[in-house]
């Protein structure tokens, strides 16, 4: 059996595998797609110590770094079930069953898409999902935020300090964000909130030039000219396959303590699939290291 089996090959999983392997213990990593979300990322400017890199380039260097060590890399494999007996068994979609003394779950998350015309077409060409990452690219420009929940309103407040003007589009008749966030939002001079707005299309030529929405009260269609659209309608953790096996939040995030331990002894978790409050590359890598050290600590005590 493995000493540490990592499920997920994004920044969190790569970091966990390297930290585990450096302890000289038997380490494996299973990834549906090595690299994870960064494979869909163009410019990265907040990976501290590296002024600029691109997602696929960072993913390649993560893989190269992992392969420096004696890690059993199982790419293009998806885990579908986890069970703890004496050892922890992880069953893959291809039917194989892997056994390990400890497991680190780092299956990440995915942004929920609005699914309107233009969204996929203009991804990285004006359509963005992460204000911490891409906000500065829109300095002095006009943008929209789709979604009036906490993440949407936090994004709008954040962006209002950087861009010229923010239009918030909320589908429902009311914003769902906490009232303190709403108060802060409404105190800002360069924000417009449009409720009952159903996004119809993100328009553009080679990049975004506007957004169309339908006023759900009147049925009238409107168009706003702008250069960026931030989609903030939820980040979904890739943890469905764990339903019923360990503690998750209402949103499906795996609950971890400050040693990255989950509710199952010997099972740890890191990165965007957990209830860690901020989802970033550097944070995922840090939590992957914590999980590996937590697993190592567990191994020497059990």
Give the start-end residues of each E strand in 216-254: 221-225, 228-231, 235-237
Shortest distance, CB of residue 78 to ligand FAD, whole angstroms? 4
Q: Does 12 bind ligand FAD (CB under 6 A)?
A: yes
Judged by CB under 6 A, does residue 41 bind ligand FAD? yes
CA 124 to CA 241: how far, in whole Å?
A: 30
Q: β-pairing, 97-105 with 208-215?
A: unpaired
Cβ at position 10, least distance to ligand FAD in Å? 2
On whether 289 is known to bind a ligand per the annotation, the reply is: no
User: Closest distance between ligand FAD and the C-beta of residue 217, in Å?
Assistant: 33
Q: Which stretch binds ligand FAD (CB under 6 A): 1-9, 81-89, 147-155, 218-226?
A: 1-9
Residues 79/241, Cβ–Cβ less than 8 Å:
yes
Question: Does 156 belong to an annotated binding site?
Answer: yes
Among 23, 26, 33, 65, binds ligand FAD (CB under 6 A): 33
Q: In the 8-state DSSP scheme, what is residue 205?
A: S
Tell me how far apart the alpha carbons of residues 194 and 196 are, in angstroms, rounded to a whole number.
Answer: 7
Exposed (0-12), middle (13-18) or buried (19+): which is 219, by Cβ within 10 Å?
A: exposed
Residues 6+ apart with CB under 8 A from 162: 135, 136, 138, 139
Give the residue with the Cβ less far from ligand FAD, 171 or 241. Answer: 241
Burial tier of 112 (Cβ tally within 10 Å: 0-12, 13-18, 19+): middle
115 known ligand binder: no
Least distance CB 282 / ligand FAD (angstroms): 6
Residues in binding contact with ligand FAD, number by CB under 6 A: 38
Residue of 36, 131, 210, 294 interacting with ligand FAD (CB under 6 A):
36
* Torsion sign (Cα): 199, 204, 208, 210: negative
Any contact of residue 154 with ligand FAD (CB under 6 A)?
no
- Decide: is 19 part of the binding site for ligand FAD (CB under 6 A): no
Binding to ligand FAD (CB under 6 A) within 44-83 occurs at 44, 46, 78-79
Q: Which of 2, 19, 129, 138 binds ligand FAD (CB under 6 A)?
A: 129
Closest CB to ligand FAD belongs to which residue? Answer: 108
User: Sheet holding 197-204: strands in order across?
Assistant: 197-204, 208-215, 221-225
Distance CA 8, CA 215 (A): 41
Q: How far apart are CA 99 and CA 101, in angstroms?
A: 7
For 248, how many CA atoms within 13 A lie in the half-sphere containing its CB? 19
Can you read off the two tokens belonging to residue 136? Answer: 């500065």
List binders of ligand FAD among 99-128 (CB under 6 A): 106-109, 111
16 is in an annotated binding site: yes
Residues 270-289 that bind ligand FAD (CB under 6 A): 271-272, 279-282, 284
Q: Which of 9, 126, 131, 149 lies at the binding interface for ligand FAD (CB under 6 A)?
A: 9
What is the Cα–Cα distance from 21 to 14, expressed in whole angstroms?
11
Q: Which of 38, 156, 191, 208 binds ligand FAD (CB under 6 A)?
A: 38
Question: Which range binds ligand FAD by CB under 6 A, 28-36, 156-164, 205-213, 250-258?
Answer: 28-36
Residues near ligand FAD (CB under 6 A): 7-13, 30-34, 36-38, 40-41, 44, 46, 78-79, 106-109, 111, 129-130, 133, 238, 241, 271-272, 279-282, 284
């Amino acid at each position: 059996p493995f000493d540490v089996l990592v499920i997920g090959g994004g920044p969190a999983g790569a970091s966990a595998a390297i930290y585990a392997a450096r302890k000289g213990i038997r380490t494996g990593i299973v990834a549906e797609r090595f690299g994870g979300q960064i494979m869909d990322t163009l410019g990265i400017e907040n990976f501290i110590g590296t002024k600029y890199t691109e997602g696929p380039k960072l993913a390649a260097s993560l893989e190269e770094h992992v392969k420096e060590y004696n890690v059993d890399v199982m790419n293009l494999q998806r885990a579908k079930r986890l069970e703890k007996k004496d050892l922890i068994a992880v069953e893959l979609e291809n039917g194989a069953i892997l056994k390990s003394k400890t497991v680190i779950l780092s299956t990440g998350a995915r942004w929920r898409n609005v699914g309107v015309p233009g969204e996929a077409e203009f991804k990285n060409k004006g359509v963005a999902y992460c204000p911490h990452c891409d906000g500065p690219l829109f300095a002095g420009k006009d943008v929209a935020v789709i979604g009036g929940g906490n993440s949407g309103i936090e994004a709008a407040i954040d962006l209002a300090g950087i861009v010229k003007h923010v239009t918030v589009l909320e589908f429902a008749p009311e914003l769902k964000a906490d009232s303190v966030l709403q108060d802060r939002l409404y105190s800002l001079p360069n924000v417009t909130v449009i409720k009952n707005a159903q996004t119809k299309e993100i328009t553009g030529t080679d990049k975004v030039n506007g957004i169309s929405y339908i006023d759900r009260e009147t049925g009238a269609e409107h168009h706003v000219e702008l250069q960026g659209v931030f989609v903030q309608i939820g980040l979904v953790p890739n943890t469905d396959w764990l339903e019923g096996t360990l503690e998750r939040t209402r949103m499906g995030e795996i609950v971890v303590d400050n040693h990255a331990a989950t509710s199952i002894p010997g099972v740890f978790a890191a990165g965007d699939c957990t209830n860690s409050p901020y989802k970033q590359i550097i944070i995922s890598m840090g939590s992957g290291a914590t999980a590996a050290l937590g697993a190592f600590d567990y191994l020497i005590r059990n």
